Amino acid sequence: MEVLKRAFDFSDFPRTDLCVAGTVALFLLVFPLLPHSSFAMATMIQFLMFSVYGMGWNTIGGYGGQVDLGKAQYVGIGAYTTAVMMIRWQVPFWVSLPIGMALAVGWSFILGYPLFRLRGHYFAIATIAVSLVLKDLFEAWSFVGAARGLKIPLRADMPSFLYLQFREDYYYYYVILGFFFVGLFYINWFRQSRIGYQLRCIKDNEEVAKSLGIDAHWAKIKAYAVATAFVAAVGSFHACYNFNIEPEDTMSLDLSVLIALMAMLGGAGSLWGPIIGAAVLVPMKNYLGAWFGAKAGLVGIDLIIYSAIIMGIAAFEPRGIWGLITRLRESRRS
Amino acid sequence: MALLDVKHLGMRFGGLQANVNISFQMERGEMVGLIGPNGAGKSTLFNCLAGVYNPTEGRILFKDRDVTGSRPYEMARIGLARTFQVYVATGDLNVIENIMVGGFMRTRSPRAAREKADSLVEKMNLAGLVQERVANLPVAAQKRVTMATALATDPDLLLLDEVAAGLNPSEIDQMIDVIRWVHHDLKVTVLLIEHVMELVMKLSHRVLVLESGRLIAEGEPAAVSRNPEVIKAYLGERYAAE
């Protein structure tokens, strides 16, 4: 009971934050009723997906301070579990979702044990490497369609909530919006829980953390598993939403970097950060990408922009946009 | 039964023997000072006790359990807490959150951890500073934060690592009061590792003196300070004769 109460307890935020958050939540709820283009709808769905990715990444990367650049492999595990089970055994989405999450979490425990022997940049590099290796394996593995990937066939009984197949995008929108709110309340509990405090202490100073009875290695593995569960869940959703999945789009380095980048841009280690980051970057990615791609044929320009953002965060405000806001507030108060 | 029983402890780093055959005991409720000149091996011994180093020789018994080679977090859970000389907390935890992390060792409930932290804040003169970042505090307050954080784990034995270093005389007096309160009211056994003689001599029931990695003297503060070996170690050969 106390756990549930804490998940809905936002009382430590100032009132302005809560007003803004409430307005945004209301907007998200009614968005499909407002006039919008299908491109805008697709962008909103992507925004929600990346928000949830970012919330997950934020547990280990933000609160725990371990920069993980290999989250895409777990997106892939979630997506492939759902796709394979649906295609081969007609398993509904809502059944394969927890199985995909469990498989991803299991894999994260196996990887986390050796990975967290490493620190800092070495950890980040190792996460990239293992994620890419798994992608290469999937590209060669014919059971999962190898490099061509898998295509989930449309069902005769479509639309089907059980199999997450809809004709209109706004059904998908509300499903992922549900994920979004569940994730948000979970993270709100997480940040106030014992593991949340312990991770922040590990980020501050691991020696101090250990002297306070914290098994830092195990705490990181646990947070890594939580992050994994988040991205695997969205991965499963991604499989149904896109029908088509292939290693290149579910497990690529681009995706790993984007997940980390959005959370860091918005503000790693804060509740709103990943949402802000996704709200800025997803529309930018889609609209700029479309505009540049069509008008000027400048295909790789988005990568240049991402790099510039990474450098900007590193140089000016490691806590991202939310850090800027906090700093402005503090300076105004004093 | 002794709370802490160190038996023939030795620690070697490659060719350097930092601790040689150190044996001593501490009873529950004692306050013991560990002194010695720079490079005597105090910090090494401290780190062996806290589980940071795994001693190359000898055994450490704590609460009648062999804890030799335990990791720092295991030592903490068994009831041995430590402070840090320089409390490096550059991140985003503020004072009260730091102390709560200590409290979380014995409870899952944020409310219980908060209550624990609140009760310590009061006693450790940190009440006005709870929302501050540790890095922004003066040294004396940082030392109190690291003590409060360690105490929040409900230890049986507290290792204090140079808590008086860098403090001015009036701050040292305050620190003495705080340590007395910890020892007397919280009933925590204390091992002081210290350069500042005034504090050690005022507080300790018993003093251990390390020199070149060896335990060269042990006894009441007054007796130890008259011990010619100790005077020699601190002041050099010339003064020992006088």
8 Å CB contact of A193 and B110: yes
Chain A residue with Cα closest to B158: A211
Please report the pLDDT score of residue B239 as a whole number.
Answer: 59
B215 within 8 A of B23, measured Cβ to Cβ? yes
pTM of this prediction? 0.91
Indicate if the pLDDT at residue B134 is higher than 70.
yes
Between the alpha carbon of residue A175 and those of residues A161, A178, A179, A228, A308, the distances in Å are 10, 5, 7, 19, 34
Q: Which span out of A229-238, B164-173, B227-236 was modeled with the highest average pLDDT?
A: A229-238
Residue B130: CB atoms within 10 Å: 15
Supply φ then ψ for residue A198, to 5 degrees: -65, -40
CA dist., res. B52 & res. B84, Å (int): 12
Does residue B151 contact residue B163 with C-beta atoms inside 8 Å?
no
Which chain B residues have a beta carbon less than 8 Å from that of A205?
88-91
Of A227, A277, A273, A276, nearest in space to A101 by CA: A227
CB contact under 8 A, B72 and A200: no
Region B218-234: mean pLDDT is: 84
Q: Which residue in chain B has the smallest CA separation from A214?
A: B73
B70 near A CB under 8 A: no
Which chain B residues contact residue A322 at CB under 8 A?
none
Does A207 contact B90 at a Cβ distance shorter than 8 Å? no
Contact A211 B89 (CB under 8 A): no
Closest Cα in chain A, distance from residue B225 (Å): 33
SS (H, E, C) chain A: CHHHHHHCCCCCCCHHHHHHHHHHHHHHHHHHHCCCCHHHHHHHHHHHHHHHHHHHHHHHHHHCCCCCCCCHHHHHHHHHHHHHHHHHHCCCHHHHHHHHHHHHHHHHHHHHHHHCCCCHHHHHHHHHHHHHHHHHHHHHCHHHCHHHCEECCCCCCCCECCCCECCCHHHHHHHHHHHHHHHHHHHHHHHHCHHHHHHHHHHHCHHHHHHCCCCHHHHHHHHHHHHHHHHHHHHHHHHHHHCEECHHHHCCHHHHHHHHHHHHHHCCCCCCHHHHHHHHHHHHHHHHHHHHHHHHCCCCHHHHHHHHHHHHHHHHCCCHHHHHHHHHHHHHHC
Give the nearest partner residue to B101 out of A2, A192, A212, using CB atoms.
A212
- Which residue among B72, B91, B149 places its CB closest to the CB of A210? B72
Q: What distance in Å separates residue B108's CA from the closest CA in chain A?
A: 6
Give, in order, the Cα–Cα distances in Å from B113 to each of A59, A216, A333, B102, B116: 21, 19, 29, 8, 5
Cβ distance of B71 and A204 shorter than 8 Å: no
pLDDT digits (tens, 9 = 90+) for A183-200: 999 999 999 999 999 999
Taking the CA of residue A11 and the nearest CA in chain B, the distance in Å comes to 14
Region for residue B7 given its phi and psi (left: phi exceeds 0; alpha: psi -120 to 50; beta: otherwise): beta
Q: Which residues pair with B208 in a beta bridge?
A: B34, B218
Nearest-neighbour CA in chain A from B21: distance (Å): 25
| pLDDT tens for each residue of B181-207 | 999 999 999 999 987 777 888 899 999
Q: Are strands A244-245 and A150-151 parallel, antiparallel or unpaired?
A: antiparallel
Residues of A in contact with B143 (CB under 8 A): none
Q: What is the pLDDT along chain A (334 residues), one digit of tens a residue?
A: 677 888 888 888 888 889 999 999 999 999 999 988 989 999 999 999 999 999 999 999 999 999 999 999 999 999 999 999 999 999 999 999 999 999 999 999 999 999 999 988 899 999 999 999 999 999 988 888 888 888 888 888 878 888 888 888 889 999 999 999 999 999 999 999 999 999 999 998 899 999 999 999 999 999 999 999 999 999 999 999 998 898 988 888 889 999 999 999 999 889 999 999 999 989 888 887 777 766 666 667 777 887 888 788 878 888 889 988 888 888 887 7
**Cβ pairs bridging A and B (under 8 Å):** 86
Please, is B118 exposed, middle or buried when counting C-beta atoms within 10 Å of its C-beta (0-12, 13-18, 19+)?
Answer: middle
Instruction: Give the dihedral sign, CA A28/A33/A34/A38.
Output: positive
Query: Across all residues in chain B, what is the average pLDDT?
Result: 89
C-alpha–C-alpha distance, residues A6 and A36, integer Å: 36
Find the residue in A nearest to B104 (Cα): A194
Q: Using the beta-carbon criterion (under 8 Å), do B91 and A200 form an inter-chain contact?
A: yes
Closest partner residue to A204 among B89, B107, B109, by Cβ? B89
Distance from the Cα of A205 to chain B's closest Cα (Å) equals 6
Say which residue, B98 or A287, is predicted with more confidence.
B98
How far out from the chain centre does Cα A68 lie?
12
* Chain B neighbors of A216, CB-CB under 8 A: 73
The phi and psi torsions of A166 (rounded to 5 degrees) equal -130, 155
Per the CB < 8 A criterion, the answer to whether A314 and A74 are in contact is no
| DSSP helix/strand/coil, B10 | strand
Is the bond preceding A159 in cis, omega lying within 30 degrees of 0? yes
Side chain identity at B179, as an amino acid letter?
I
